[in-house]
Every structure is written in C-alpha cells, then in structure tokens.
Amino acid sequence: MRTLKLYGTGTATANAVASVVIPSASTIRAIQWSVILDSITDGVLVQLELSRSSSRETNVNGAQQCCAEIALASNFVTSGLAQPTPNGIFHVSLPFAQGQILYTHALITGTVTYHVTWLLHY
C-alpha cells in the first residue's frame, strides 16, 4: 500500500486551497485526516472538503465529486483559543485514473486559521 499526502492551510473560504495529482491509476482505500484550528472569535465553523471537483460542493445535495468532508464548530468566547481537534480515518473505495486531481476546499464562518492534512492510502 502506498500513501499520498495533501496539506492545506488558510483563514478564509476558498476553492482549491491545495491540490494533488494522482500519480498512477489506483483505488484509494482509506483517507486519514488531521485538522488543527486556531480561532480568535467565538462562533467558528470550518467545513473542509476533499473533492475531485475544482470548486466547492459543500452543502450541495446530490454532489457526486466529494470524496470526504469534515465539519468542526466552536463556540468558545475566548480570544486566541487553540482547540483540540480530532484525527480520523474514512474507509473508502475510490477509483482514480492517472493524472486525476484531488482538491481541498474550505467553507469558513468566523475568524479562524485552519491546517488540514489528508493522507491518502492506495
């Protein structure tokens, strides 16, 4: 089994925060993820999407390009709060052709800096 890493960071809603090209035809069997948040206001919502689409499909019913999505919320009235955030793994079976691109997209509410790492097992 091989792995491929995709890392992105930001502070605002964005399409294609980061992307990676699939090096060879393969099937992704698992998606491991890690997120770190640092917020300076309360009422923070971070939605991160791993997708085959070059633009965000967050909150779209029937979206067919989304491979994984993480949503984290915080409502602490504390400035500069670095929150403990979980790590996780999705078990999937996603076929990819050589040269296909995977993108990370972000939908952000509030003031927060996020760091996301996706580790693709194929």
- 67 with 83: CB under 8 angstroms? no
Domain ranges, residue 79: 3-121
* pTM of the shown model: 0.88
For the cut 80, the answer to whether the pLDDT of residue 104 exceeds it is: yes
Digit-coded pLDDT (tens) for 4-58:
999 999 999 999 999 999 999 999 999 999 998 888 777 889 999 999 999 998 7
Predicted pLDDT at 23:
96
Of the candidates 92, 44, 89, 39, the one whose C-alpha atom is nearest the C-alpha of residue 71 is: 44
For the cut 80, the answer to whether the pLDDT of residue 68 exceeds it is: yes
Residue 116 — pLDDT band, cuts 50, 70, 90? very high
Residue 77 — pLDDT band, cuts 50, 70, 90? low
Predicted pLDDT at 82:
64
What mean pLDDT, rounded, does the chain reach?
Answer: 90
Rounded Cα distance, 115 and 67, in Å: 18
CATH number of residue 56's parent domain: 2.60.120
User: Could you tell me whether strands 3-10 and 112-121 are parallel, antiparallel, or unpaired per DSSP bridges?
Assistant: antiparallel
Residue 81 — pLDDT band, cuts 50, 70, 90? low
Domains identified in the chain, total number: 1
